[in-house]
C-alpha cells in the first residue's frame, strides 16, 4: 500500500498537569504507542531529553520534559505498553539514563528493515521507499532545548511518528512472510536489555582523541592539557566540546611540539576565538611544556592478546559458512554473527554444540541458522 499523501494527525502540546492528566487517560486505553524523542546533545554539554513525541490512535502528543511537569506517571504507564520506534537504541538509552525507564516490549522498525535485508533502513529511506514521500530533515540538528519551539520544529517533531503505524504494519507482514518475525522479537528483547547496561568509559584516557596514537609523550602532555582546558570551558558554557574548539586544532597544537631542546612555537589560533579562550589555550600549552618529563602521559600500548589465537582454518570455515548463508538470505553477514562471535566460537575448536553456544552468546535464531553448519567439519578447507 503506497500512500499518496503524508498522513496527518491532530497535535496536542503537553506542558501542564491538566494536559498530562488528559494524556494519561487516553494512554490507559492504548496497547501500542508510537514513540520518538528529541534531545540536545548537538548543542549542550549536558545532554537531555527535550521533547517526547507519541502517537496514540488518532492523535499526536508532544510532551515537554523541560516545562517542569512530572513525567513519573507517564513513564510508569508507558512502561506497560508495546513501543514502536525507529532506531530505538538511542531513545531507550536516553530514557533509561534520565529515569531508569525500561519498556515492556519494543518493535524497532529499523531493526525490522535490516532483518528484511533492506540496504536503506533509515526512516527517511523507508518512508520514501514505502510511501513515495520525502521527509524534510532541515530541523535534524536544531536545538530542541529552545523555548518556545517554533511551529516548524513542532511539526517536524511530530512527523516522524505519523509514518510509524503503517510502516509497522507492512514490516510486520513482510517479517511474517519470511518467517523472521521471531528473529525480530528476539533482537528487540536483546536491545531492551542492552540499553539498560552502562557503557564502560575509560575516564583516564578520554582525552586521547583520534590521531593521538602517533604522538610522543611531550606532545601527549600538550594534548591532554589543552583537552582538559577545553572540557572545563565546555562544561562551564554547557556547550559540546567541539563548539568550543575542534579536536583537529588540539591535535595541531600537539603536533607542533618538537623534541626537547628545540625551540617551540605555538601555532596560530582561529581568529574567531574570543581573547579569553585564546589566552587559556596558550596558557594550557605553556603549562604542559613546563611539566617535568615524569608527568608526561605515555603512548598506550597495544592491548595484549589474552589466551590462544583461534585456529585459522576453523575461523575461515565459520566465516565462509556465515557469509554463504547471509548471501542466500540477502542479509548483512554481521547480523548473523559478528567477528567477535566467530572468534569466540573458533576458540572452542567447534567440536561441541554446547561449547559453541556458551562461547558465542548468540540469540536463538542465530544459533538455529548456524550451529549445525558450523559443526560440520567436512565443509572446512584450509584458507
pLDDT of the residue at 308:
82
Peptide bond preceding 148 in cis form (omega within 30 of 0):
yes
pLDDT of the residue at 1:
38
Strands 49-56 and 82-85 turn out to be: unpaired
Put the strands of the sheet holding 82-85 in their side by side order. 11-14, 59-63, 49-56, 32-39, 82-85, 105-108
pLDDT of the residue at 100:
93
pLDDT of the residue at 160:
87
Kind and range of the H or E run holding 49: strand 49-56
As a CATH number, domain 203-295 is: 1.10.150
Q: Do domains 11-195 and 203-295 have the same CATH topology?
A: no
The separation between the first and the last C-alpha atoms of the chain, rounded to the nearest angstrom, is: 47
Strands 105-108 and 49-56 turn out to be: unpaired
Q: What's the CATH fold of domain 11-195?
A: Nucleotidyltransferase; domain 5 (3.30.420)
pLDDT of the residue at 380:
46
Strands 59-63 and 82-85 turn out to be: unpaired
Q: Is residue 169 within 8 Å of residue 63, measured between CB atoms?
A: no
Tell me the domain boundaries of the chain: 11-195, 203-295, 312-379
Instruction: State whether residue 145 is helix, strand or coil.
Output: coil
Instruction: State whether residue 81 is helix, strand or coil.
Output: coil
Going by C-alpha positions, the residue among 30, 365, 315, 58 that lies closest to residue 185 is 365
Residues of the chain with pLDDT under 50: 1-4, 378, 380-383
Amino acid at each position: 500500500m503506497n500512500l499518496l499523501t503524508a498522513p496527518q494527525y491532530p497535535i496536542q502540546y503537553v506542558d501542564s498537569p491538566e494536559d498530562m492528566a488528559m494524556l494519561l487517560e487516553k494512554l490507559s486505553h492504548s496497547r501500542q504507542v508510537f514513540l520518538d524523542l528529541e534531545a540536545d546533545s548537538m548543542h549542550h554539554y549536558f545532554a537531555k531529553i527535550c521533547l517526547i513525541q507519541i502517537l496514540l490512535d488518532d492523535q499526536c502528543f508532544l510532551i515537554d520534559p523541560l516545562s517542569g511537569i512530572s513525567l513519573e506517571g507517564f513513564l510508569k504507564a508507558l512502561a506497560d505498553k508495546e513501543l514502536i520506534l525507529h532506531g530505538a537504541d538511542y531513545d531507550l538509552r536516553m530514557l533509561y539514563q534520565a529515569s531508569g525507564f525500561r519498556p515492556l516490549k519494543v518493535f524497532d522498525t529499523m531493526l525490522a528493515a535490516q532483518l528484511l535485508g533492506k540496504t536503506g533502513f533509515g526512516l527517511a529511506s523507508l518512508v520514501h521507499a514505502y510511501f513515495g514521500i520525502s521527509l524534510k530533515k532541515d530541523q535534524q540538528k536544531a536545538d530542541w532545548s529552545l523555548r518556545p519551539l517554533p511551529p516548524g520544529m513542532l511539526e517536524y517533531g511530530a512527523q516522524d511518528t505519523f509514518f510509524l503505524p503503517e510502516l509497522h504494519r507492512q514490516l510486520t507482514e513482510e517479517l511474517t512472510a519470511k518467517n523472521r518475525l521471531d528473529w525480530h522479537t528476539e533482537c528487540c528483547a536483546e536491545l531492551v536489555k542492552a540499553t539498560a547496561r552502562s557503557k564502560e568509559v575509560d575516564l583516564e584516557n578520554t582525552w586521547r582523541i583520534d590521531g593521538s596514537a602517533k604522538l610522543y609523550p611531550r606532545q601527549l602532555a600538550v594534548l591532554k592539557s589543552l583537552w582538559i582546558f577545553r572540557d572545563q570551558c565546555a562544561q562551564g558554557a554547557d556547550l559540546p566540546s567541539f563548539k568550543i574548539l575542534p579536536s583537529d586544532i588540539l591535535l595541531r597544537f600537539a603536533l607542533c611540539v618538537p623534541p626537547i631542546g628545540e625551540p617551540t612555537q605555538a601555532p596560530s589560533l582561529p581568529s574567531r576565538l574570543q581573547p579569553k579562550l585564546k589566552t587559556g589555550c596558550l596558557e594550557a600549552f605553556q603549562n604542559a611544556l613546563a611539566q617535568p618529563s615524569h608527568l608526561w602521559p605515555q603512548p598506550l600500548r597495544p592491548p595484549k592478546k589474552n589466551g590462544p589465537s583461534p585456529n585459522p582454518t576453523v575461523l575461515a570455515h565459520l566465516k565462509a559458512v556465515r557469509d554463504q548463508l547471509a548471501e542466500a538470505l540477502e542479509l548483512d553477514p554481521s547480523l548473523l554473527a559478528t567477528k567477535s562471535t566467530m572468534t569466540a566460537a573458533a576458540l572452542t575448536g567447534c567440536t561441541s554444540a554446547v561449547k559453541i553456544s556458551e562461547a558465542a552468546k548468540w540469540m536463538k535464531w542465530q544459533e538455529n541458522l548456524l550451529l549445525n553448519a558450523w559443526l560440520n567439519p567436512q565443509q572446512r578447507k584450509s584458507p
